[in-house]
Structure 1
């Protein structure tokens, strides 16, 4: 009974705040007000608390611009967590635009949608990302191209770093910073996350959203470790494949450190 009441109250609070902020964000998007960047973060931070996501940060977000975050991706929770930590713009595949709930939220966040199979539109999409970065926005890329199970890093796709190349002409010092970021789900109620609770970390596409969301809410308190790695300087003439390889190696090292509890033992 208590669990059901807590789930009901958490969902009600999240929905109520979303409905309250919705008109403001729609106006901000229509008139391009500065608040369109930071207002979603208000909801993200509240949603993380309501869901019981306890976030620990290792390292720091780079302060230089243009900046692209290359983050691991295991769940819809990743978006809430990163959005709670910084005013960011997400790069999402075009199919997300039509998803129930998440598609609408992504549009309200002014996410950048890319159609990976639309070669004719690739240039326009890349230029939009570059323009947003040139305007000082922090762009989040999930370079694995899909969600993992939260226990590993999938191969990083070098083609997704085309936006970093396109942003170079607008970079004041001719450098785009690409910062690796890992999101590790490490514990439940302060205890290490064992095999029984690992399904709460990842959200594979074949699992329905509602049961997974209810599982997170019933868990009560999930510990999340977000690690900001060393920014990688990307310059004119640099190889995207070399950048992807470096990012992938850093993500694997950082995720393994978090899942094995190295930071917590330090």
Structure 2
């Protein structure tokens, strides 16, 4: 326990210092729309992962075509840093995140798009924001399950925001304001080892943050346990016109990639 507590301190102190330095720099970059608004979060996530001891292995590659909508499974709060370390991008998150102390500020500086899931009318507004970001060249990440899992499986993907964002882009393209319908690329995030030991079905839920878990105790527990190996699998880009068909294909691809990462087959 003492060694674990020492490790937490050795990790948290430099993470806090890097965060305090990065906040005003990113605020200025976002405020004045500097190119650094995209690259500073990428650098920040990579530094944080190195300090925490998270090693990321990328399988495949992000699509180069734009506009680009990335749809992924969701396992943990670590997913944000893991994906954010791969390429410059924006996230879609539930509206409550904006009000979380500290986390809300970081999410806003990441230029996160917040969605109120209790309001059906909010879907169109959020889709418009997603389309605007994608048209501006930013890939947008949507955790399509709408929640997080225990890391052993992919839950059902929801099609509403996928379809709305693609439709909004299509309308813009018809009016001459957009490049065309978004390329849809499925992802899979797989937590595979801790301290070099395969996690297995029983071990992965210890890294996952899901259900009614409190964030702070889970974060401290993850930091105590040591180094983590995670794989990010980029699937083949999809271009299906029907939102339900596109969602089902993305879900199937994400499920296949996760199974391959966890089983080695």
**TM-score (norm. length: structure 1):** 0.92
Q: Could you say which residue in structure 2 is the equivalent of 1:44? A: 45
The CA distance in 2 between the partners of 1:122 and 1:59, in whole Å, is 31
8 Å CA contact 1:65, 1:171 repeated in 2: no
Matched, 1:257 2:264: no
1:204 deviates by 1.2
Matched, 1:206 2:237: no
The CA distance in 1 between the partners of 2:23 and 2:252, in whole Å, is 39
In structure 2, stretches of 5+ residues that fail to align are none
Q: Could you say which residue in structure 2 is the equivalent of 1:58? A: 59
Q: Could you say which residue in structure 1 is the equivalent of 2:247? A: 244
The CA distance in 2 between the partners of 1:95 and 1:232, in whole Å, is 31
Question: For each residue in 1:154-202, what CA deviation from the matched residue of structure 2 results, as whole angstroms up to 9, or x when unmatched?
Answer: 1111112111221232543x34211101100011122210355323331
8 Å CA contact 2:71, 2:144 repeated in 1: yes
Q: Could you say which residue in structure 2 is the equivalent of 1:182? A: 188
**TM-score (norm. length: structure 2):** 0.92
Secondary structure (helix, strand or coil) at the match of 1:150 reads coil
The CA distance in 2 between the partners of 1:105 and 1:27, in whole Å, is 14
Matched, 1:125 2:131: no
Secondary structure (helix, strand or coil) at the match of 1:233 reads coil
Q: Could you say which residue in structure 2 is the equivalent of 1:14? A: 15
8 Å CA contact 1:143, 1:156 repeated in 2: yes
- Count residues in correspondence: 258
1:43 deviates by 1.2
Q: Could you say which residue in structure 2 is the equivalent of 1:147? A: 148
- Distance verdict in 2 for CA 1:163–1:252, change over 3 Å: same
Q: Which moved more, 1:6-15 or 1:122-131?
A: 122-131
Q: Root-mean-square deviation (CA), in Å?
A: 1.5
Q: Could you say which residue in structure 2 is the equivalent of 1:231? A: 237
Give the alignment partner of residue 165 of structure 2, picking from 163, 166, 174: 163
8 Å CA contact 2:58, 2:231 repeated in 1: yes
The CA distance in 1 between the partners of 2:52 and 2:144, in whole Å, is 26
Secondary structure (helix, strand or coil) at the match of 2:182 reads strand
1:76 deviates by 0.5
